Amino acid sequence: MTDTTLAPPIAPESSPLSRGLSVFVLSSFALSQPILDLLGRNAVFFLARAAPPIDAILLALVTGLIGPALLGLAVALPGRWNERLARNLHLATLGVLFGSLVITIAERTPARDLNGKLILALGTIAGASFALSYKRFENVRLLLKYATPAPLIFVLVFLFASPTSTAVIQSQSLSRPDAVDLANPAPVVLVIFDEFPTVSLMDGSGNLEEPIYPNFARLAGDGTWFRNAVTVRQQTEDSVPAILTGSAGPTGGLPFASSYPNNLFTVLSDGYELHVLEAVTGLCPDYACQNKARQTESFAKRWKTLVSDVTVILGHLLLPRDLTDRLPSIDESWGDFRNTAAASPETSDEQDFDIIEQFRDLDSEDRRKPVSAFIDSIEPAGEQPPLYFGHFLLPHIPWRYLPTGQEYPAGNPIPGSATTGWTDDEFLVAQAYQRHLLQVQLVDTLLGNILDRLDAVDLYDPSLIIVLADHGITIRPGIEHRRVVTDETLADVAAVPLFIKRPYESTGAVDDYRAETTDVMPTIADVLGFDIPWQTTGYSLFADDRPARAATEVVGTKGRVVFDAAGLEILELAGEKAAWFHDNGPAGFAPTGYEHLLGMLLAEGTGTTSAGSIEVDHPERYVDVDPDSVILPARLTGTFHSPLSSTTDVYLAVAMNNHVVAVTRTFRREDGRSGFSAMLPHTEFRAGYNAVEFFLIEDAAKPALNRIVESDS
């Protein structure tokens, strides 16, 4: 008689060891490998935070081995007390991990363009299917068992075969180059600002806005403003080496001394006292720059930021891109992503400080702090002439600083932004532009402090002073990415400020020659009187035989773009900027047709309106203001409640202390309500209570304003 009894399904291995091992292996594929791969390809993540090699090594061990092992242990242990719970927890964990792996892979394929919720659903189905397959099929379980060496392989690749390994972990033994003969040794001051387009300094005619930027005007008055200067590389990691070597090398290289052994620091290391502060590069080798101004933070502080950043990166890796809007961006800086994206403190700080005193007590993550360290390092010249180099991440986003150096509650994300680009809302983008220009005014303030310090130690006159930016930024509607150079964004991203004052020069000039960032190194060599012992692609900007340039080739993440040397695009942008700001800097901003309302005094008997009500965010900020405090509530935000549709544009005049200081327009927020924001001039705040009032503008041509009542909600 034939036995028709069904055979029981094959049971999975049920020992705690097998469960823990399977989770250990799968978590390394789903979590560890994506993180180690991304960080292994981005050594700047470690270089930008001055991380010692031990940080990268420990991160690899924790991420690649210790973390997965702890997760495996957590899944295996419950089996000692409750077998059914342990079995279900094990399968659920495998399902989540495999589903996460599928989502991560999908984001690297054309499937990334699918709806995020659909990708999550596919990941869930894939995870459940894998858990079921693991339960029923021996081959699936064997596959994970055979993959046991994978976690160790991932760690070894990171430690010994990745760009991060070359730049951070492995020792760099560079020999000191032969000394060069200096015919005219002089102090050198080279300052590079970041994400700074030339047009930010220009009025509508393409001239320097001297009243708005008096310290750039001061430098231009004593030297030469190369108004038509451009960067040859879009990315900081490529553009800074191009400046320091005089050569436009291939993109994507490591910005490290081992990759660029021939640079300004190495060639002057024998005859100069070097004071070097690099923000995101490491081109100055240890033999030349043991006196770096940037100091390594304590282990606890470094790892607090490091762990936070890794969790943010993991969120971006595991979630579909259209579901990561609420995560801090990892495209705005090289680290400390949460603080970069977060709003400023929500209440005014009681601490006061002298604005001119360089912010010495602020946290080191603050982008103003490195400027303080740089200025503190400037001392009277010793036996050898000094070289002072500083690369500062200003006016780079986040935009949260006022011209005085004070901070304001910035908020996140920026209204009008679209992840890394801009929406089509011209007014909201112009509001963002206003915040950028306020931060450019801070750069002008800091430049003035640097020049004052040089003057105080008798270094200003005898020094070769060069101030420029590594690349620009585009702040215009409908741009997909604010920092990617294309035919459309050339004048914003490629055109950068370049000011050069030679020793004892005091006569200003504007030079519209097409200068390139690779010309900086040859110009330094020309002024100091030495021959560069390597081939450069740039030329001295003061040489009589400098070549005529018909165009510049700028290389970015989307390829090569040709920038005509006439520079007419820059002038066109300057005109567009003047249409919003009227050559008055950020203080002149208002919606087109409403500029005349700025500064208007409130007449007695101003009417009221019942067309809506205002709800101000954090009204307590304006009750007892200290105009000299570290944080000033200069950014005003809130909600306009109205029976009108939230899609209807409503224009509001904002008055403070009895006169109009800003004009703004409502916009639709994610919650469907009408929000608004406005920058209040920092010069208008007074000690104590500051009366902020709102008026509905029904007709811009009529000066009459109707006061809007504040909501009790």
DSSP string for residues in 610-641:
EEEEEEES-GGGGTSB-TTBSB---EEEEEEE
For the segment 90-134, what is each residue's pLDDT rounded down to a tens digit?
Answer: 899 999 999 888 888 887 777 777 777 888 888 889 889 998 998
CATH topology of domain 188-292+364-581: Alkaline Phosphatase, subunit A (3.40.720)
Distance, C-alpha 576 to centroid of its chain: 25
The confidence score (pLDDT) of residue 362 equals 34
**pTM flag (> 0.85):** no
What the block records as the tokens of 285 is 């080798």
Q: Is the pLDDT of residue 632 over 90?
A: yes
**Which among 240, 38, 243 has a CA at the least distance from the CA of 154?**
38
Q: CB under 8 Å to 482, separation ≥6 — which residues?
A: 420, 421, 422, 473, 474, 475
**Token pair belonging to 321:** 């891109």
- The set of residues, in sequence order, having a beta carbon less than 8 Å from that of 645 and lying 6+ positions away, is none
3-class SS of residue 571: helix
State the pLDDT at residue 215.
98
Q: Which two tokens stand for residue 168?
A: 């951070």
Q: How far apart are CA 194 and CA 357, in angstroms?
A: 22
**Degrees to nearest 5, angle at CA 110 with 105 and 112:** 65
Q: Are strands 509-511 and 224-226 parallel, antiparallel or unpaired?
A: parallel
Report the C-alpha dihedral over residues 313, 317, 320, 321, rounded to 10 degrees: 50
pLDDT at residue 173 in the model: 57
Tell me how far apart the terminal alpha carbons of the chain are, to the nearest angstrom: 82
Q: Is the pLDDT of residue 481 over 70?
A: yes
Residues 6 or more apart in contact with residue 504 via CB below 8 angstroms: 461, 462
Q: What per-residue string of b and e applies to 405-420 under the rule 16 or more CB within 10 Å gives b?
A: bbbbbbbbebbbbbee
Other Cβ atoms closer than 10 A to 9: 9
167/161 Cα distance (integer angstroms): 11
pLDDT grade, residue 332 (50/70/90)? Answer: low
Residue located via tokens 């924001």: 677
- Report d(CA 539, CA 525) in Å as an integer: 10
Q: What is the pLDDT of residues 43-83, one digit of tens each?
A: 777 766 667 778 888 888 999 899 999 998 888 887 667 77
DSSP H stretches of helix in 246-351: 264-268, 299-318, 337-341
DSSP 328: P
Q: At 677, is the secondary structure helix, strand, or coil? A: strand
In the predicted model, is pLDDT for residue 560 greater than 70? yes
Which segments of the chain belong to CATH 3.40.720.10? 188-292+364-581
Q: Are 538 and 241 in contact (CB under 8 A)?
A: no
- State residue 430's pLDDT score: 95
Residue 711: predicted pLDDT: 56
CA–CA gap between residue 134 and residue 95 (Å, rounded):
9
167-224 pLDDT, tens digit each: 665 545 567 777 789 999 999 999 999 999 999 999 999 999 999 999 999 999 999 9
- Do 193 and 472 contact (CB within 8 A), yes or no? no
CA angle 645, 649, 650 (to 5 degrees): 95
Three-state SS at 71: helix
Query: Is 470:197 a contact under the CB 8 Å cutoff?
Result: no
Please state the rounded mean pLDDT for residues 271-294.
80
The pLDDT score that the predictor gives to residue 119 is: 83
Do 674 and 646 form a contact (C-beta atoms < 8 A)? yes
The kind and range of the H/E element at 412 are none
Q: What pLDDT, on the 0 to 100 scale, is given for residue 38?
A: 85
What average pLDDT does the structure give for the chain? Answer: 85
Q: Name the residue among 632, 496, 637, 639 with its Cα closest to residue 570.
A: 496
Element (H, E) at 626: none
Q: How far apart are alpha carbons 488 and 474 in whole angstroms?
A: 10
